[in-house]
Amino acid sequence: MQNLVVISLFLFTGFVSSFSAAYDFSEEQKRNVKLLMNASLHDDTGYRIVESLTTEVGPRLAGSEAEKRARDWAVRQFESLKFENVRVDTFSVPRWERGIETAEVTSPFPQKLSVTALGGSVATPADGVEGELHIFPNLGALKSMKNNAMAGKIVFVDESMARTQDGSGYAVAVAKRGQAAFEAHRVGAVAALIRSVGTSSHRFPHTGQMKSITDKNPGASVPAAALSAPDADQLARISHMSEHVRIKLILTPEVLPASTSGNVIAEIPGSKKDEEIVLIGAHLDSWDLGTGAVDDGAGVGIVMAAAHLINTTLQQRPRRTVRVVLFGAEEVGLVGAKSYTDTYQDQLDLHIVAAESDFGAGVIWRLGSANVAEEKHDVFTAVTEMLSPLKIIPGDNTSSGGPDMKYLKEAGVPIADLRQDGRDYFDLHHTADDTFDKVDPVKLRQNIAAYAAFVYLVADMEERFR
Ligand SMILES: [Zn+2]
């Protein structure tokens, strides 16, 4: 695999002169793009950053002492890589912590099940809850039940998720994670189980937040947990054989006093228009089960290394400032993203483009956008065409751009979406298996090459995209 990306670059070395697109990049810009791609495809800075974060900090749940250590780590990394204006913007975040989590079938075939509490779940009593199981094929079926129709039962939403390249299966499947515990309460159930939101067939459950931890009125809910896919299959089989399946569930998560989280920010100041900003981000927090390697250690490594290579490979810095933002408390409800948009409200007009890497470590195959003005589409496409040596194709102007881009996007900031191949992403997402060994250094380099080239171009060209 290692040489494929490198070879493909050389196959396309004639690319810079072959474009006659809607924008005339200067000879220097074309040369610099080539330099950046070559440097990135032979550099391990990004991979070492992911290794360092996942090894020296490990899991880093929002608001935890470990997330604080991650911020300290990030400041040290930025400083040693010679970034400027390194700072931490702190904010307060409610804090939830996992406790004991066990589940078992008590009859007709007693056996343990592999479960994990959903983020924000309330606790069961210390000795657990037990009830008769009722399976729903999807969230809609649970929602169609009358109030109290499931009194005393444990409801189980057994809805699977489609494996897709662009991750579109997630948006559909995640609805049950957000709503099952609240719907279960409405129908009188004592607990809710869901089939994990994920595509893995392995025996580990996928966690994830239910509603945003900052939601002041989430509504009443019951203890809620995700089952691994094979355990969900097992329950389905058992319930086919017996009308009365009983489940016992113990979950003891705690809500702790509000704690501190923060965004870590660093910059490569622009050489001519340093007040104008190209933002690239990733999130620093992770779930607690794995070490947050593909979610989102990889993104941290990609954006830090891309900006670092722009700063160290080229003779002159790009015209505009490259700002790297490592968002805190993403997983529990995009708390850092909201804080950033509030803090930099007065600068949002000066944000030329923003992008987040938060979809694992697969190769980038498409570059889409959002909020790019109609008359600027051709220019954005011309930028995309400069990335064709990396096998990246143009996307449309309706992209998400990553979770932490939500509020910037709502504020009208042009968003770029360097979309990774996510077919395997949800095999690992939010599980104990999200560890450093899953990151492929060659694929990571392709990501860094794409970010470095893209960020350099949009930071150096005079054009804006609004
Ligand atoms: Zn993420």
Q: How far apart are CA 422 and CA 233, in angstroms?
A: 24
Q: What is the pTM of this model?
A: 0.94
Band of pLDDT at residue 7, cut at 50, 70 and 90: very low
Task: Tell me the β-bridge partners of 95.
Answer: 256
Of 330, 331, 356, 385, the active-site residue reads 330
Asked if the model's pLDDT at residue 329 lies above 70, the reply is yes
- Report the candidate in 341, 314, 299 with the shortest Cα–Cα distance to residue 439: 299
Ligand 1 center–CA 428 separation, angstroms: 11
CB 369 within 8 A of CB 413: no
Q: State pLDDT tens for residues 454-464.
A: 999 999 999 99
**What pLDDT digit, counting tens, does each position of 396-441 carry?**
999 989 999 999 999 999 999 999 999 999 999 999 999 999 999 9
Q: How confident is the model at residue 366 (pLDDT cuts 50, 70, 90)?
A: very high
- pLDDT at position 14 over 60: no
Tokens of 252: 């003891």
| 22 Cα: distance to centroid of ligand 1 (angstroms) | 34
Q: Each residue of 222-239: b (16+ CB within 10 Å) or e?
A: bbbbbbbbebbebbeebb
R_g over Cα of the chain: 23
End-to-end CA distance of the chain: 39
Q: What is the 3-state secondary structure (H, E, C) of the chain?
A: CHHHHHHHHHHCCCHHHHCCCCCCCCHHHHHHHHHHHHHHHCCCHHHHHHHHHHHHHCCCCCCCHHHHHHHHHHHHHHHHCCCEEEEEEEEEEEEEECCCEEEEEEECCCEEECEEECECCCCCCCCCEEEEEEEECCHHHHHCCCCCCCCCCEEEECCCCCCCCCCHHHHHHHHHHHHHHHHHHHCCCCEEEEECCCCCCCCCCCCCECCCCCCCCCCCCCCEEEECHHHHHHHHHHHHHCCCCEEEEEECCEEEEEEEEEEEEEEECCCCEEEEEEEEEEECCCCCCCCCHHHHHHHHHHHHHHHHHHHHHCCCCCCEEEEEEEECCCCCCCHHHHHHHHHCHHHHHHEEEEEECCCCCCCEEEEEEECCCHHHHHHHHHHHHHCHHHCCEECCCECCCCHHHHHHHHCCCCEEEEEECCCCHHHHCCCCCCCHHHCCHHHHHHHHHHHHHHHHHHHHCCCCCC
Ligand 1: distance of its center to the CA of 285 in Å?
A: 8
Percent with pLDDT over 70 in the chain: 95
How many whole angstroms from 296 Cα to the centroid of ligand 1? 5
127 CA to middle of ligand 1, Å? 33
Sequence-distant (≥ 6) Cβ neighbours of residue 311 within 8 angstroms: 81, 82, 83, 268, 317, 322
Q: How far apart are CA 85 and CA 267, in angstroms?
A: 6
Q: For residues 52-60, give the mean pLDDT.
A: 98
Mean pLDDT calculated for residue range 282-297: 98
Q: How far is CA 54 from the centre of its chain?
A: 15
* pLDDT higher than threshold 90 for residue 452: yes
Amino acid 299: pLDDT:
98
> Any idea which residue has 């056996």 for tokens?
111
Its sign, for the CA torsion 23, 27, 28, 34, is positive
Instruction: Calculate how far, in angstroms, residue 152's C-alpha sits from the geometric centre of ligand 1.
Output: 35
Find the 153 Cα to ligand 1 centroid distance in Å: 33
Q: Assess whether 330 carries a catalytic annotation.
A: yes
State how far the Cα of 283 lies from the Cα of 74, in Å rounded to an integer: 11
Q: CB-based contacts of 309: which residues, under 8 Å, 6+ apart?
A: 36, 39, 40, 43, 45, 448, 452
Centre of ligand 1 from the C-alpha of residue 330, in Å: 7
Q: Is pLDDT of 177 > 90? A: yes
Has residue 19 got a pLDDT over 80?
Answer: no
In this structure, what token pair is assigned to residue 66? Answer: 């470990």
pLDDT digits (tens, 9 = 90+) for 189-245: 999 999 999 999 999 999 999 999 999 899 999 999 999 999 999 999 999 999 999
Burial-class residue 19 by CB neighbours within 10 Å (0-12, 13-18, 19+): middle
Find the 312 Cα to ligand 1 centroid distance in Å.
28
* pLDDT at position 10 over 50: no
For residue 87, the Cα-to-chain-centroid distance in whole angstroms is 22
Distance 223 CA to ligand 1 centre (A): 24
* Distance between Cα 182 and ligand 1 center (Å): 24
Say how many Å lie between the CA of residue 295 and the centre of ligand 1. Answer: 5
Give the burial string for 156-172 (b: 16+ CB within 10 Å, else e). Answer: bbbbbbeeeebbebbee
Can you give the pLDDT at residue 172?
A: 84
pLDDT value of residue 168: 86
CA–centroid distance, residue 226 to ligand 1 (Å) = 18
pLDDT at 21: 57
CA 315–ligand 1 middle distance (angstroms): 34
> Confidence class of residue 32 from pLDDT cuts 50, 70 and 90?
very high
- Give the model confidence (pLDDT) of 117-167 as tens digits: 999 999 999 999 999 999 999 999 999 999 999 999 999 999 999 899 888
Instruction: Look over the chain and give the mean of its residue pLDDT values, rounded to a whole number.
Output: 95
